[in-house]
Amino acid sequence: MSRVWTNRRFFWQPVALLAVALAVAGCKPEPERNDGPATDRIYRHAMDGAPSSLDPAHASNIYANFLAVNLYDTLYRYKYLARPYRLEPNLAEGLPQVSADGLIYTIRIKPGVYFVDDPAFPEGQGRAVRAADFIYSIKRHFDPATRSQGAWLWQGRIVGLDEWKDNGADYDEEVPGLRALDDRTIQIQLIAPFPQLTHTLAQGYSAVVPREAVVAYGQEFAVRPVGSGPFRLQSFHSSGAVLIRNQGFRREPFSLEAEGFDPALQEELGLEALADRAPPFADRIEVEFIAEDAARWNAFIAGELDFIKVPVSQFDQVLATRDPPTLLPELAQRYRLGASLESGFVHTDFNMDDRRIGYHPDPDQQARNRALRCAIIKAFDWPKRNEVFYYGIGKVFPGIIPPLTAEFDAHGDSSPVRRDLDGARDLLSRNGWHGGNLPVLEYGFPSSVTERQMFEQFRSFMADIGYPAEKIRPLTYATYGDYARAYLNREVMLTTTGWTMDYPDAENTMQLFFGPNASPGTNSANYDNEEFNRLYRASASMQPSPMRTAMYRNMNRMVIDDCVTISGISRTMILLWKRDRAMLPDRSFVGGFFFRFADPGPSGSEAE
Task: Report in angstroms how near the CB of residue 525 gets to other proteins at its nearest.
Answer: 14
Task: Report in angstroms how near the CB of residue 217 gets to other proteins at its nearest.
Answer: 9
Cα separation, 493 vs 491, in Å, equals: 7
**Residue 469 CB: number of other CB atoms within 10 A?**
11
- Nearer Cβ to other proteins (132/299): 299
Q: How do beta strands 572-578 and 335-341 pair?
A: antiparallel
- Nearer Cβ to other proteins (264/449): 449
Q: SS3 for 487?
A: helix
- Nearer Cβ to other proteins (73/286): 286
Task: Report in angstroms how near the CB of residue 6 gets to other proteins at its nearest.
Answer: 4
User: Which residues, in sequence order, are CB contacts of 497 under 8 Å at separation 6+?
Assistant: 346, 347, 349, 487, 524
Inter-residue contact 345 to 568 (CB < 8 Å) = yes
What's the residue count for the chain? 608
Q: SS3 for 400?
A: coil
Buried b (16+ CB within 10 A) or exposed e, 445-461: bbeeeebeebbebbbeb
- Nearer Cβ to other proteins (254/335): 335
**AA letter at 558:** M
Cis ω before 324 (30° cut-off from 0): yes
Inter-residue contact 358 to 528 (CB < 8 Å) = no
Task: Report in angstroms how near the CB of residue 37 gets to other proteins at its nearest.
Answer: 17
- Nearer Cβ to other proteins (52/326): 52
Task: Report in angstroms how near the CB of residue 20 gets to other proteins at its nearest.
Answer: 10
C-alpha angle 252-246-338 in degrees, rounded to nearest 5: 70
Strand-pair partners of 339: 574
Task: Report in angstroms how near the CB of residue 183 gets to other proteins at its nearest.
Answer: 30
Task: Report in angstroms how near the CB of residue 520 gets to other proteins at its nearest.
Answer: 5
Task: Report in angstroms how near the CB of residue 97 gets to other proteins at its nearest.
Answer: 29
User: Which residues, in sequence order, are CB contacts of 119 under 8 Å at separation 6+?
Assistant: 216
Cα separation, 142 vs 205, in Å, equals: 12
Cα separation, 190 vs 5, in Å, equals: 88
Task: Report in angstroms how near the CB of residue 167 gets to other proteins at its nearest.
Answer: 15
Cα–Cα nearest to 229, from 418, 378, 65, 82: 65
- Nearer Cβ to other proteins (219/429): 219
Inter-residue contact 200 to 214 (CB < 8 Å) = no
Inter-residue contact 80 to 281 (CB < 8 Å) = no
Cα separation, 316 vs 338, in Å, equals: 16
Residue 585 phi, psi (nearest 5): -65, 155
C-alpha angle 424-430-436 in degrees, rounded to nearest 5: 80
Task: Report in angstroms how near the CB of residue 446 gets to other proteins at its nearest.
Answer: 10
- Nearer Cβ to other proteins (3/411): 3
Cα separation, 253 vs 269, in Å, equals: 19
Task: Report in angstroms how near the CB of residue 302 gets to other proteins at its nearest.
Answer: 5
- Nearer Cβ to other proteins (497/572): 497
- Nearer Cβ to other proteins (99/447): 447
- Nearer Cβ to other proteins (352/427): 352
- Nearer Cβ to other proteins (165/557): 165
Using CB under 8 A, list all residues that contact other proteins: 3, 6-7, 10-11, 13-15, 18, 21-22, 24-29, 31-33, 52-53, 55, 60, 144-145, 147-152, 155, 218-223, 237-240, 288-292, 294-295, 298-299, 301-304, 478-482, 484-485, 488, 511, 517, 520-522
Task: Report in angstroms how near the CB of residue 147 gets to other proteins at its nearest.
Answer: 6
Burial of residue 487 (number of CB atoms within 10 Å: 0-12, 13-18, 19+): buried
Strand-pair partners of 570: 395
- Nearer Cβ to other proteins (28/411): 28
C-alpha angle 513-517-518 in degrees, rounded to nearest 5: 80
Give the DSSP letter of residue 183: T
**Residue 7 CB: number of other CB atoms within 10 A?**
10
Task: Report in angstroms how near the CB of residue 495 gets to other proteins at its nearest.
Answer: 13
SS (H, E, C) 514-547: CHHHECCCCECCCCCCHHHHHHHHHHHCCCCCHH
Torsion of CA 603, 604, 605, 606, to 10 degrees: 90
- Nearer Cβ to other proteins (119/520): 520
- Nearer Cβ to other proteins (51/416): 51
Task: Report in angstroms how near the CB of residue 232 gets to other proteins at its nearest.
Answer: 18
